[in-house]
Every structure is written in structure tokens, then in C-alpha cells.
Chain A
């Protein structure tokens, strides 16, 4: 029977003032963190994580959704204007946009970016709301071996995506998994890697790892880059409000096919666990260039390239929450932190979450349909103010972030030891990051490592320690073949990594 989700009810829930206020708040925070180079939506959601402890689950999830959508969209704004993306996902369209800026057409780049983002976000959001139920029905067939193979796929993608030095990507992911093994074993009454420290017996909290890796390490990296940020502030551009209203002439040369194709590709990329905005924009941009009638314009300020890359990475957001909700496997760094929000509120991801907590999951998904409209309003009304954000003193922003992160850890754990641990993990992540070991795989390994072990051991118990169980179940085999395809695509076919 065809399931028609009560989308309108979910939308009405989000539009209730007490919920909508949180969406707006998240959206504003997302714009702030997405626009200012050095701040990312991941950092914003990481800061939100300890704060959500005192919030109800729905406002917390809706705030995170607002941050996520706005952060992904606004990360390309500074890329167009000053060639420095607010986050890696904005780099592809930003490259094309900056070529237009050099030709004196910065407003055109920003308008096309906005329309691409709105269309991508809207179509992606609508598709996910309509498809979530059928996907959840398929997910019921995922037992431990299938889930293990899905995690293998996810680990492979995150290990290979964020650096062209694949050994470093694999080490970063595995180090995350190693840190996650600290504490009690998942099945037997024994502890691992605690070094005799009693506070480590219960393991390292996700919150501590996330704040350490994304907040403390980022602050250390920004202290190093202090001079560069000063240069950014000095290249500030003056932009007026009327220039943000789209014109028909902006879209000449953009194929109609891209309006549908890019959001679909972006959304499907988002569903792939571990892929994220960067991969979505790379794939949609690449596909757009491949089928374009004017491929020679790419790299020289192609409006089609900007539009499709933005449509792709904004459609990715709703897609990325699917593996999170259905399997508890985050689609990217932001959804990895959103997993923490679910867990803090005692919500266990899985097909049953959708069935039993649709009053939470539904409005969260519906938020993705509403945020594209906020993008239009936000850019036209506060667009000029956004550009002025670049003038903010980074010391003030990071002063606030530092206090919030330390107090946030304290508020949740009530432990000085956990604050120390956060700083130590932050120092380690900073050092790794400086040496080219990416931080996103580190945190993804931390989250996926215990799941990997749980499903591996459960599968082996099921089969009497026979690893062939992974090769005798169709879905599991399919996922493992897909993993091999990704390895081939990354390592042998083309350099798809972020670098």
C-alpha cells in the first residue's frame, strides 16, 4: 500500500511559534558559522550538543536542522566573494563564483547560488519526506551482517574522501575507532585501554570527542592562522540589498534537466553514509560539466556549474539524515553530532524510531522543506549584513566559543577530568590535522568503530565464527561490492578526494 506521509501536519508542527523560533535561531547560527571563514556548521552543531541537554528533543533537532541547512548554504557565500569557503562543501561552486567576482559579477554568483540552494534543498527535502517510510521498510531487512557491510562501506568512504593520502585517512578513521574501544567491552565484563585510570572505565563520551576534535582543535588551528583571518577582514566587499533579487537573465544557459537531476544526485549522495556535502557538490558539478553544452565555460565562472553544485550539496542535507535515523549511521560530520543529540535524549536510531517517534522525526524532516524559503528571505534581507560579519573580531567569537565549550562539557559531565580529556583530545586532533590527518574521519571512526565491532561480533556469533556469512546474504554482498566499487573509483579511477 502506498504510504502518504502527513507532510502538512509535520510542517504545521514546525511552523508553531515555539518550534519555528528554534528553527530560525538554528538558521541564524548556521548562517553566522557558515559565512565566517574558520567557523563551520559542524562547529556550530558541536557547540549545540551540550546545550541541547537542557532542551526538549524536537526543538533541539529542529535547531540542528536549521544550523545544518544554513551552514551548508552559506559556506559558499564567502567562497564567491573572497575565494575562501566557509566550509569545504562550498569550495566547488565558490571556485566558479569567484571567477564571476573577478569579472565584476559577484551579485550574479550569489543569486545563482541562492536559487540553486533553494531548489536543491526543497526538492531534496520533499523527496526525503516522501521516501523515508519505504526506506524504513527496506531497513527492516538489515540484520547484523547487512549493517556490518553498510558500516564497511561508510568507513571506506570517509577514509578515502577527506585526503588524497589514503593511508592518512585510514589511520585517522582507525584512530577514532581505537579511542572508542577505551572502556568496558561491549559483551564481556572486561575493560580495554583504560591505562588504569578509573574515570576511563565508562569510556570516552561522544560529546567529549566531538568538542575536542571539532572545537578545541579548531581553536588551536585558528590561533595559528590569526594573520590570515586579518587579511580576510581587509578584503571586505560592500554589497547592497537590491542586488540579491534574482533576475531571469541569470539563468540563461542553465539546462532545465539540472533543476531535477542535481537535487536527486545530491540527495542520493547524502544517503550514502559518510559522503557529505563535498562529495555531493563534486559529483553534481562533474555530472553537470559532463553533459553541458558549454563545458569550456567551466572553471571560468560557469553559472551552470554554480547552480548544479549548490543544488547538489543542499539536497544532500536531507539525504544525510536518512542513514542517521534508519541505521544510526551518520551521513556526514554534522549528522554525526546530530546522533549525539538523539542519544542525549534517549532516542535510539532505527526503523522503529520513525514508527514510534514520528512526531519528532517527521517535523525534523519537514524543517528541510521550510529552510529553503528562509534562505531567500535571509539573503535578500540580511545579505549585506552577512558580508559585514567578515569584519567581526575573531578573538571575540572564539572567546565565546571557548567559554561555551568548556562550560558545556562541565554542564553535561560535572567533571573536571572530562574537561581535561576534551582538551587532550583537542590537542591530539590539532596535531593530526596539522600533519594532514583529517579530523572528520577521526570522529566518524569514533562513532562507527563501536557499531562495527557490535555487528561484526553479533554476525560471527550468528554464524559460529564463519566470516562467509557476509558473502551469503544478498544485501550484504551488494554493499560489499559497492565498497569495492568505491575503492576502485577513489584509488584507481580518479582522485575524488576533497584535496
Chain B
């Protein structure tokens, strides 16, 4: 179902992506189904109950997932994953999470300048031009500060 080949900056995966994704969706739906099995019955016989709508959802997703699975048989496709791209994508998600934590430790200004700078560098990779990126990060932070704290009176985190 899956074959892997490593090259310099890339991982070549030959796989049936449709089938893998359909399977993932079916597994996730199965887990959701197990969860709704634990829901209590409706209070009265005139009420559809809390599990009724989730059951409809499970039936719909499972039917379409099965249809996709059936129609994906035999479709092998080459997918090239660049390590550098994967690192950048993971870095953006990770940086955003770190930003939401360190904003309470080092305050809005320092954390926002660092976060904006990191995002700018991620977008312009592999070019690194700190001469323009640093001032722009400061401008972005000041703009956001003006918008939220000064215009809309939202209290932004300060240094502890």
C-alpha cells in the first residue's frame, strides 16, 4: 500500500493517498461512534435524543468514506515530501502554540516581535533578510497593539 524512498531533501512516498485518507476518516468516525454509544437514551419517547444526530453524521461519513475507499482501489500516486517544507509547516504550528504561552511570560511586545519575525522568515525561506524583517516585525506588533489595546481597549498581556 505504501513504499518509501529517501533522497537528499525529500521523501518520496508511493501510496494510494485516497485510500489512506478514506481509512483515516473511517477510523476517526469509528472512534466517534464508540463515544456516542455511551450517550444516554432520550428522556421521553417523543424526543429523538442526544445520540440521534450523531448517528446520522456517522452513517453519512461512513457511507461516503466507504464509497471513496471502494473507488480508490488500485490508484497508486507518488507524493514528494520535502523535509524543509515539513519543518517549516511544523515550525509555524509549533511557533504559534509557543507564542500563545510565552506571551504571558515575556509580554505582548517581545513575544509578538519574535513571532512575527519568525513567520516572515518562514515565508521568505531560504532568503534571510533581517534588515527588512526586524523593522517590519516591530511595525506589525505596533499595528496590532494600536488596533487591540488603543482602539478596541483589549488588555494585552504584559511582562509578569
Contacts and interface: CB of A to CB of B under 8 A. Distances in A.
Interface stretch (A334-342, A348-356, A391-399, A471-479): A391-399
Given A216-B96, A223-B89, A399 B136 contact: yes
Interface string B130-160: 0011001100110110011001111011000
A54 B153 contact: yes
B40 interface: yes
B123 A407 contact: no
Interface string A153-192: 0000000000000011011001101100100010110101
B147 A404 contact: yes
Given A190-B40, A396-B136, A222 B93 contact: no
B10 interface: no
Contact of A192 (B42, B54, B144): B54
B123 A461 contact: no
A400 B142 CA distance: 10
Contacts of A199: none
A186 B25 CA distance: 26
Nearest to B66: A167
A82 interface: no
Contacts of A465: 45-46, 48
A461 B50 contact: no
Q: Which 9 A-B pairs have the closest CB atoms?
A: A54-B152, A395-B123, A419-B100, A185-B50, A395-B120, A453-B53, A167-B64, A399-B116, A411-B154
Given A192-B36, A226-B124, A398-B119, 16 more contacts: A167-B68, A171-B64, A174-B61, A177-B57, A181-B53, A187-B47, A393-B132, A395-B123, A402-B119, A407-B156, A420-B97, A420-B100, A452-B53, A457-B52, A460-B47, A460-B48
Interface of A: 51, 53-55, 167-168, 170-171, 174-175, 177-178, 181, 185, 187-188, 190, 192-193, 195, 216, 219-220, 222-224, 226, 393-396, 398-400, 402-404, 406-408, 410-411, 416, 419-420, 423, 426-427, 435, 449, 452-453, 456-457, 460-461, 464-465
24 contacts: A54-B148, A54-B152, A55-B152, A167-B65, A167-B67, A171-B65, A192-B36, A195-B35, A224-B85, A224-B89, A393-B120, A393-B132, A396-B120, A396-B136, A398-B120, A403-B112, A403-B144, A404-B144, A406-B99, A407-B156, A416-B100, A416-B104, A420-B100, A423-B97
